[in-house]
């Protein structure tokens, strides 16, 4: 297991609304962060993105369960994210599995998350969630 990936995951999992200044210890100033819903360039923009994320949810937790280093400075983290949002799923916890592809030198300069955006968000919206459930039923 990669020490870099394990340490990154531990520090990332410890982030919350009160310690986003620590992002600079994990990411380079020119970080490129992408997920299925956003693309963010630069550390100030990443701080803003994470600040908005934490401001709009009641709880967020990552469980990391895979650390796969592909080569020097490249690897994947597998994780399960659990979060609560007051307007989604009646405030119940929502769990989403995903993985992160990281490129790094001394800090991560490229971070790309892969996850099901429907499982994260769309399936839990009142009207859209019913439509997605109906579509899944029709396709099954």
**Which sequence spans correspond to the domains of the chain?**
3-139
pLDDT at 6: 96
- For residue 19 the two structure tokens come to 């310690």
pTM: 0.83
CATH 2.60.120.620: does it fit domain 3-139? Answer: no
- Tell me which of 16 and 140 has the higher pLDDT: 16
Average pLDDT over residues 47-69: 91
pLDDT band at residue 92, thresholds of 50, 70 and 90?
A: confident
Could you tell me the CA-to-CA distances from 121 to 32, 68, 85 in Å, in that order?
23, 27, 10
Closest to 61 measured CA to CA, from 82, 87, 34: 82
Average pLDDT over residues 48-77: 92
* Angstrom distance (rounded) from CA 77 to CA 19: 22
Average pLDDT over residues 32-61: 92
- Tell me which of 43 and 2 has the higher pLDDT: 43
pLDDT at 95: 87
Average pLDDT over residues 43-48: 98
Q: In this structure, are residues 20 and 43 in contact, taking their beta carbons and an 8 Å threshold?
A: no
Average pLDDT over residues 44-64: 91
* Angstrom distance (rounded) from CA 102 to CA 109: 8
* Angstrom distance (rounded) from CA 29 to CA 107: 9
Q: Report whether pLDDT(94) > 90.
A: no
Q: Report whether pLDDT(139) > 50.
A: yes
């Amino acid at each position: 297991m990669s020490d870099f990936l394990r340490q990154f995951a531990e520090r990332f999992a410890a982030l919350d609304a009160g310690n986003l200044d620590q992002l600079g210890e994990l990411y380079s100033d020119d970080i490129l962060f992408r997920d299925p819903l956003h693309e963010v360039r630069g550390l100030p923009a990443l701080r803003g993105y994470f600040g908005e994320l934490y401001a709009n949810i009641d709880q967020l937790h990552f469980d990391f369960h895979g650390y796969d280093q592909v080569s020097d400075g490249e690897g994947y983290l597998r994780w399960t994210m659990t979060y609560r949002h007051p307007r989604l799923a009646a405030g119940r916890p929502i769990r989403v599995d995903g993985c992160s592809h990281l490129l790094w030198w001394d800090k991560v300069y490229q971070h790309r998350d892969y996850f099901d955006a429907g499982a994260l968000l769309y399936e839990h919206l009142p009207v859209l969630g019913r439509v997605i459930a109906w579509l899944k039923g029709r396709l099954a």
